[in-house]
Amino acid sequence: MSEYNTKKAAILRFLRTIIPQIPAGTTYLITALSGATIAPWIIPALMFVGATATALDKFLREIKK
């Protein structure tokens, strides 16, 4: 029987949640720091994609149980 590693599980959960959010955050930082303008729908669209990827990951892990 294998032991459950709480620290590893917490790190993996954080990574599974944060990785889909990185494109939106990166886009925001680049535009804020460079002063460039982008279409106003790009950052919300990337946030939606990130949230959808996180929800899909959670759903798939839940139905595996």
**How much is the pLDDT for 1?**
54
Q: What is the pTM of this model?
A: 0.71
Which segments of the chain does DSSP mark as H helices, in order? 6-18, 22-34, 42-64
Q: Which of 61, 41, 65 is nearest to 53 (CA)?
A: 61
* Segment 13-63, tens digit of pLDDT: 899 889 888 888 888 899 889 988 888 899 899 989 989 998 998 899 889
Q: Are 41 and 22 in contact (CB under 8 A)?
A: no
Given a cut of 80, whether residue 2 has pLDDT beyond it is no
* pLDDT at res. 34: 92
